Amino acid sequence: MMSRRFFPALLLSLLWLSMGVFGQSQSSAKPKPHVVVLSVNGMELDVVRPLLLEGKMPNLSSVIKKGAYGKLRTVSAPNCPRVFSTIFTSTKPEEHGVTGFIVGGITANTNMLKQEPLWSMLSKKDVTVGMANVPATFPVLPVNGYMISGMLTRGKNCEDGVLCAPKLSEVQGGDAVYPATMKTELLKNVGDFYIDCERMPAASDLKGHESEFIDSWLTKVQLIRDEQTHLFDYLLDHHPTDFTWLGQSCEDRTGHWLYPIAPYNAGYNPKVNAVRTEAFPDQYVAFDKVLGAVLKHIDDNTYVIIVSDHGIKPLREFEETDAHAHMDHEKTTPVIAKHDFADGDDVPGSFFAMGPGIKHDLRLMGFEASVYDIAPTILHIYGIEQPMQMRGHVLSEIFEGSDKAIAQK
Ligand SMILES: [Zn+2]
C-alpha cells in the first residue's frame, strides 16, 4: 500500500512537526495569500438561479457581483469522491485512482490517491492549510496545518462510510482529525459534531409515515449544518490558515430524493414528492447562510472560491441497475434525481470566485472552467507553478491584467 503513495507520510509529518504542529511558523517569510474555498456537493444552477432572482441567496449574490462565476465542466458519470479527487489533483479519475464510491470493493479512501493532492503541494511550499468536512479526505493525511475529514468517513452505524453521518467521537477505521491532538480540542470547544450529512431513508422508513419522516430528516439535516457552521466559525477564529477549505454535503443528499419533481417525472410519488417541495431549494438558502457565516471572517485581501462537483437533475428514466452508491445499505431509497449521467455536461458543477485582482461581475460562458482548473488556479494564486501531471489550466481570464500582477501578490 505504501509503495503506491506519492510521498512518505511519516517523513512529511516529521518535517511539519519540526516546524510547529500548526505550522504558523514562517514569521520571517512574507505573508502568503489567503484563500478560502467553500465546496458544495451537488450545486444545481437550475435551482439556484431562481433563488438568486428572488433574493434568497444574498451572500452568493454578493460574491457574484464582486467576482467571476460560471458552470464548471465535470467528469463523466460524476459523483462526489470521483470529482473531488479530480479537483484535488487535476488528474483524471483513472489516474488518481478514486474512480467512485467503491473502488475494488473498498470504500474510497485517501490511501487510494495515486496523484499528489493540492493540500500536499501547498504544505510543501510552507502554505498553512486547514480543511474541514471536505469529501474523500478520510483517513486524514498530514498537512501543514489541520485536516478534519468529511464524506466517506467511517464510524458507528456508518461502517462502510458511504453517505452516512458518524459523529466525531464515533469515527472508526482511521483518523478523522490531523493532528490527532486537535480532536480533543474540538470535542471540548466545538462539541461532538456530525462529520457528514444524514443517510437517506430506506423505502421502509418512509412507508405509511412519509411526512413525519421527511420533517424529522430535514430537522436532522439542519442540525448537522448548524454544527458544521459552528465548527467553521471556530476554525476560522482559532486556527486561521493561509489556505482553508470547508465542505458542505447536505444539498446533494436532499436533492436525490426530495428534488421538487412534477407528476410527469420518473418516480413521482405524491406521498413523498408533494410534501415538502421547498425542501431541496431550501438547502441552498441554508447553504447561503453558511456562506454568510464564512464571509464574516473574510477581508478584501482574501480570495473566496465556491466550487461544486456537479449538479443534479431528475431521473430521465428508471434505471433498474443503477450502479452508483446513492442508495442506503438496502438500496431502497426512492431516488428521483441523480448526477451520474454518462455525459457529465448534463450536470455541470459551478464555480464562483472573488478576491484581489479577480474581475467583478464576470460570467464565464459555456465550459470555460472545468474541475481540472481549480487546483492550478489556486497554485497560481500562491505563485506555484502547476506540475506536469495536472490536466487543467490557470483560469487567467478571471484575473484583471496580466498573470504577473497576481503572482507578485
Ligand atoms: Zn449525489
Cα 79 to middle of ligand 1, angstroms: 6
Cα 276 to middle of ligand 1, angstroms: 19
The mean of the pLDDT values for the chain is 90
Which residue in 240, 325, 224, 206 sits closest to 24, CA to CA? 240
pLDDT at 409 over 50: no
- Of the pLDDT bands very low, low, confident and very high (cuts 50, 70, 90), residue 165 is confident
Residue 42 to residue 81: CA distance in whole angstroms: 12
Q: Rounded mean pLDDT of 188-208?
A: 94
Cα 339 to middle of ligand 1, angstroms: 6
Q: What is the pLDDT of residue 23?
A: 44
For residue 128, give Cα distances in angstroms to 24, 45, 86, 249, 268.
7, 32, 22, 24, 48
Q: Write the pLDDT tens digit of every residue in 74-105.
A: 999 999 999 999 999 999 999 999 999 999 99
Name the residue with higher pLDDT: 315 or 332: 315
Q: Rounded mean pLDDT of 170-197?
A: 97
Cα 309 to middle of ligand 1, angstroms: 10
Cα 256 to middle of ligand 1, angstroms: 6
Cα 192 to middle of ligand 1, angstroms: 25
DSSP 8-state symbol, 385: P
Cα 81 to middle of ligand 1, angstroms: 10
Q: What is the pLDDT of residue 163?
A: 86
pLDDT at 383 over 70: yes
Contact 73, 368 (CB under 8 A): no
Cα 324 to middle of ligand 1, angstroms: 9
Q: Grid coordinates standing for 162? A: 458511504
Q: Grid coordinates standing for 37? A: 474555498
Which residue in 215, 209, 238 sits closest to 24, CA to CA? 238
Q: What is the pLDDT of residue 322?
A: 54
Q: Grid coordinates standing for 15? A: 518535517
Cα 85 to middle of ligand 1, angstroms: 15
Cell 486556527 maps to which residue?
A: 239
Q: What is the pLDDT of residue 327?
A: 53
Q: Which secondary structure element, helix H or strand E, spans residue 37, and what is its range?
A: strand 34-40
For residue 350, give Cα distances in angstroms to 45, 123, 129, 309.
7, 26, 23, 7
Cα 91 to middle of ligand 1, angstroms: 21
Cα 285 to middle of ligand 1, angstroms: 18
Residues of the chain with pLDDT > 90, as a percent, come to: 81
- Of the pLDDT bands very low, low, confident and very high (cuts 50, 70, 90), residue 20 is very low
pLDDT at 146 over 50: yes
pLDDT at 357 over 90: yes
Q: Report yes or no on whether pTM surpasses 0.85.
A: yes
Cα 130 to middle of ligand 1, angstroms: 25
Cα 249 to middle of ligand 1, angstroms: 9
